[in-house]
């Protein structure tokens, strides 16, 4: 491990006022001279909101890239999928970067590297590789710390001024997260990891896990000063603990794995609660070996920050088999409802529902009925007869697959789409994975395993009580196969207790995305269908009608959708397709994983795919929408697609927008700001 410290070169840089003892600060009002962005989504509420309007609808098109930090400098392996959202504290930008997940500190005005920390993992690796989603910050008013989780699942506490490990924390600044986890695990194998940042609340660090099917994903709290474990919450209950009886067959809870909290988290410091979203158990599409509702899978769990004691939980999917983990942080919001203000939490999900709960007790703000759902045909599977399905607010993306959603732009395409779809089961949102045979290759499920909304989550405007989300509209193939008397997920890992047919590593979603650090073995030989898993297509044309990606505004004062717009241009591969010559195409939008940023007047996010514009230039855009209407107000050229979720800050009276971008040429952190002349022109008369 080593750190590069260039603070001596910045001796003339003035420091901003230190934060309060809890490392939290009220948002500045209007265009303050300086601001902070202290958490992954700005604050503990995960609102991803800042009340700035120096950058607004009248000048967004005038934005210029003012600095770029290339992660290519951090090593030979280029990162196309750079997912981090940086922090901004006291004039400095902190983030994780590079394929080794280094921590870097940059000057907020210039992007200059001030220090870099790297931990040499040796042979150790984890289930979540790559740069990660970012880091965390803590201060007691004197000491300042940056905390992050390495690719090998260790946690470091670094001096925010120098990047050097804090010798008082753990062992020489590091806590080995594979130890003291109430389970035995190999110290080097990639059986557990985490790409989300830890969450620091008061003096407690809350850390989740992204385990493999052989490992359980417990949630733990650590002392921020010493690194000592304060508590642990068993996401798969042990015998005698609440929820154990939702695993119906003895021994299945003990044998099961996964059920980790791999997503970012949120917290209410006043209530003393941290809100943790939990994924489903192994395996993603098969629950043969885990009968029952399987608490606390697919649940939002509220834990006491000091003790880890469960205060309440809400299970959003019973006995999941669709890989629709609770993948994003819940948004803390106080909303008007029935003549009073309700302390709520709004949970975006992969399945396209926004679950709005009273965050003090977990009860739904609007009724969420248990709705009867179909039963499948997989031998030995257990099926929940109902699922909780909100009606208010309505779903923000398509749910379920029928012939009505299949592409029909030409008679030939329509016929081919229906022929392909005839080999799959179609049905409503919770149509179960099909038992695969020579006629039925699986079930088409919509949304797919990436959502809907994924890890970037949404954003929230406290002035209008509106949640904003980007949603992906692409279906997935699920299914199960049988071999030697054992049930396997179609194209996925085997059920627990069965042999891995390919000897591969288990993990997230690599077989569908090609993203580094994730891999899955294939289904047994001879049982793969002829269509590529994921977005099946007609010569590259998605089988489903557009839009492929949308931005939606959800008014929580009414429980209604205020507006929804298509996000992104039509991809070149569709626009120029030989089967679509002469067809008047709609704007399709693009499917990806994006997060929204909300400011005083705008919703800001970038494209997740490249396109060729009317001038013949290939690139993408950072876009701004009017937050009240959804009308696009401006777009700025980018040469790489957005891969993280954008953030914003004020420094010396100038507003910056920073986002991670990536391509096959590598990944960057890029900052946009207005030229001085544009800032002066948009300032109030008395400030000119």
The confidence score (pLDDT) of residue 562 equals: 99
Could you read off the pLDDT of 191-203 as tens digits, one per residue? 899 999 999 999 9
Average pLDDT, the chain: 89
pLDDT in tens, 264-301: 999 999 999 999 999 999 888 999 999 999 999 999 99
Q: How far is the C-alpha of 448 from the C-alpha of 509, rounded, in Å? A: 11
Q: Report the pLDDT value the prediction gives residue 79, as an integer from 0 to 100.
A: 82
**Position 229 pLDDT exceeds 80:** yes
In the predicted model, what is the mean pLDDT of residues 638-648? 96
pLDDT at 537: 84
Cross-strand partners of 222: 205, 229
- Predicted confidence (pLDDT) at residue 685 exceeds the cutoff of 50: no
The pLDDT score that the predictor gives to residue 465 is: 98
E-strand spans in 439-475? 442-445, 459-461, 466-472
Q: Give the pLDDT of residue 254.
A: 96
Does the pLDDT value for residue 503 go beyond 50? no
d(CA 224, CA 222): 6
Looking at residue 469, the DSSP 8-state letter turns out to be E
- pLDDT of res. 529: 37
Average pLDDT, stretch 553-563? 99
Over range 132-136, report the average pLDDT. Answer: 97
Where in the chain are the domains?
A: 1-44+85-233, 612-688
Identify the H or E element spanning 254. helix 252-255
- What percentage of residues in the chain have a pLDDT greater than 70? 88
Q: Most confidently modeled of 23-32, 431-440, 512-521?
A: 431-440
With cut-offs at 50, 70 and 90, classify the pLDDT of residue 32: confident
Burial class (CB in 10 A: 0-12, 13-18, 19+), 599: buried
pLDDT, position 508: 27
Instruction: State phi, psi for 141 to the nearest 5 degrees.
Output: 100, -15
More confident residue, 321 or 22: 321
DSSP single-letter state for residue 224:
T
- Of 667, 659, 669, 568, nearest to 621 (Cα)? 568
> Which pLDDT band holds residue 139 (cuts at 50, 70, 90)?
very high
Residue pLDDT, tens place only, 478-493: 999 998 889 988 864 3
Confidence label for 24 from pLDDT (cuts 50, 70 and 90)? very low
Written out in words, the top-level CATH class of the domain with range 1-44+85-233 is mainly beta
Q: What is the pLDDT of residues 522-545, one digit of tens each?
A: 333 332 334 334 447 888 898 999
**Has residue 90 got a pLDDT over 50?**
yes
pLDDT of residue 30: 61
Q: Which residue has the higher pLDDT, 502 or 27?
A: 27
113-118 and 560-566: which strand pairing? unpaired
pTM assigned to the model: 0.91
Quick one: pLDDT at residue 1? 53
Q: Are 469 and 394 in contact (CB under 8 A)?
A: no
pLDDT of amino acid 514: 29
The least confident of 8-12, 170-174, 239-243 is 8-12
Q: Residue 491: what pLDDT? A: 61
Q: pLDDT-derived band of residue 570, with 50, 70 and 90 as boundaries? A: very high
Q: Is the pLDDT of residue 424 over 60?
A: yes
Q: What is the pLDDT averaged over residues 641-664?
A: 96
Residue with tokens 């989780």: 149
Q: Which pLDDT score, from 0 to 100, does residue 34 have?
A: 87
Tokens of 681: 């022109």
More confident residue, 396 or 4: 396
With 50 as the cut, is the pLDDT of residue 23 above it? Answer: no
- Give the other-Cβ count within 10 Å of 231's Cβ: 17
Q: Each residue of 540-552: b (16+ CB within 10 Å) or e?
A: ebbbbbbbbbbbb
Q: What is residue 31's predicted lDDT score, i.e. its pLDDT?
A: 66
Question: Among 353-357, 452-456, 494-498, where is mean pLDDT lowest?
Answer: 494-498
Helix (H, G, I), strand (E, B) or coil at 60: helix
């Amino acid at each position: 491990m080593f750190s590069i410290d260039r603070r001596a070169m910045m001796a003339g840089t003035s420091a901003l006022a230190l934060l309060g003892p809890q490392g939290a600060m009220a948002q500045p009002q209007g265009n303050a001279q300086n601001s902070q962005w202290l958490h992954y989504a700005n604050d503990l509420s995960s609102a991803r909101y800042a009340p700035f309007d120096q950058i607004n609808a009248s000048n967004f098109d005038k934005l210029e890239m003012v600095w770029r930090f290339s992660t290519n400098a951090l090593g030979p392996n280029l990162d196309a999928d750079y997912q981090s959202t940086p922090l901004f504290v006291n004039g400095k930008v902190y983030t994780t970067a590079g394929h080794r997940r280094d921590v870097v500190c940059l000057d907020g005005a210039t992007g200059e590297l001030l220090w870099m920390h790297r931990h040499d993992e040796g042979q150790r690796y984890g289930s979540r590789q790559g740069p990660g989603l970012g880091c965390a910050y803590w201060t007691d008013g004197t000491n300042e710390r940056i905390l992050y989780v390495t690719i090998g699942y260790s946690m470091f506490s670094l001096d925010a001024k120098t990047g050097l490990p804090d010798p008082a924390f753990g062992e020489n600044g590091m806590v080995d997260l594979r130890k003291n986890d109430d389970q035995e695990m190999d110290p080097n194998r990639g059986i557990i990891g985490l790409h989300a940042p830890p969450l620091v609340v008061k003096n407690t660090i809350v850390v989740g896990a992204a385990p493999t099917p052989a490992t359980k994903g417990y949630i733990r709290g650590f002392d921020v000063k010493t690194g000592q474990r304060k508590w642990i919450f068993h996401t798969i209950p042990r015998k005698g603990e609440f929820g154990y009886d939702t695993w119906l067959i003895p021994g299945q809870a003990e044998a099961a794995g996964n059920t980790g909290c791999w997503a970012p988290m949120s917290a209410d410091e006043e209530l003393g609660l941290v809100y943790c979203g939990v994924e489903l158990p192994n395996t993603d599409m098969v629950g043969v070996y885990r009968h029952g509702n399987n608490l606390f899978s697919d649940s939002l769990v509220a834990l006491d920050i000091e003790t880890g004691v469960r205060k309440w939980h809400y299970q959003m999917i019973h006995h999941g088999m669709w890989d629709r983990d609770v993948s994003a942080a819940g948004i803390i919001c106080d909303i008007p409802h029935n003549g009073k203000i309700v302390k709520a939490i709004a949970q975006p999900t992969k399945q396209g529902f926004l679950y709005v709960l009273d965050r003090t007790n977990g009860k739904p703000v609007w009724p969420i009925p248990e709705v009867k759902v179909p039963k499948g045909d997989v031998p030995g599977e257990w099926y929940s007869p109902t699922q909780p399905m909100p009606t208010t607010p309505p779903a923000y993306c398509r749910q379920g697959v029928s012939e009505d959603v299949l592409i029909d732009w030409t008679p030939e395409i329509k016929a081919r789409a229906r022929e392909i779809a005839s080999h799959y089961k179609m049905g409503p949102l919770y149509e179960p994975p099909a038992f695969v045979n020579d006629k039925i290759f699986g079930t088409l499920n919509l949304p797919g395993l990436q959502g809907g909304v994924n890890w970037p989550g949404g954003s929230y405007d406290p002035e209008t009580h509106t949640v904003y989300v980007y949603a992906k509209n692409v279906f997935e193939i699920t299914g199960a196969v049988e071999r030697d008397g054992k049930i396997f997920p179609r194209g996925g890992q085997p059920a627990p207790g069965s042999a891995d047919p390919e000897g591969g590593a288990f993990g997230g979603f690599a077989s569908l995305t090609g993203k580094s650090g994730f891999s899955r073995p294939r289904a047994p030989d001879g049982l793969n269908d002829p269509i590529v898993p994921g977005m099946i297509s007609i010569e590259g044309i998605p089988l489903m009608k557009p839009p492929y990606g949308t931005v939606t505004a959800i008014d929580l004062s009414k429980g209604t959708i205020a507006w929804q717009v298509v996000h992104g241009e039509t991809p070149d591969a569709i626009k120029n397709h030989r089967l679509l010559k002469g067809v008047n195409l709609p704007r399709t939008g693009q499917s990806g994983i994006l997060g929204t940023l909300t400011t005083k007047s705008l919703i800001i996010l970038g494209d997740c795919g490249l396109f060729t514009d009317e001038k013949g230039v290939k690139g993408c855009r950072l876009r701004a929408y009017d937050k009240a209407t959804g009308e696009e107000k401006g777009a700025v050229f980018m040469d790489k697609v957005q891969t993280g979720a954008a953030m914003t800050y004020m420094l010396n009276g100038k507003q910056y927008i920073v986002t991670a971008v990536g391509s096959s040429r590598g990944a960057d952190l890029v900052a946009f700001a207005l030229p001085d002349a544009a800032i002066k022109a948009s300032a109030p008369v008395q400030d000119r």
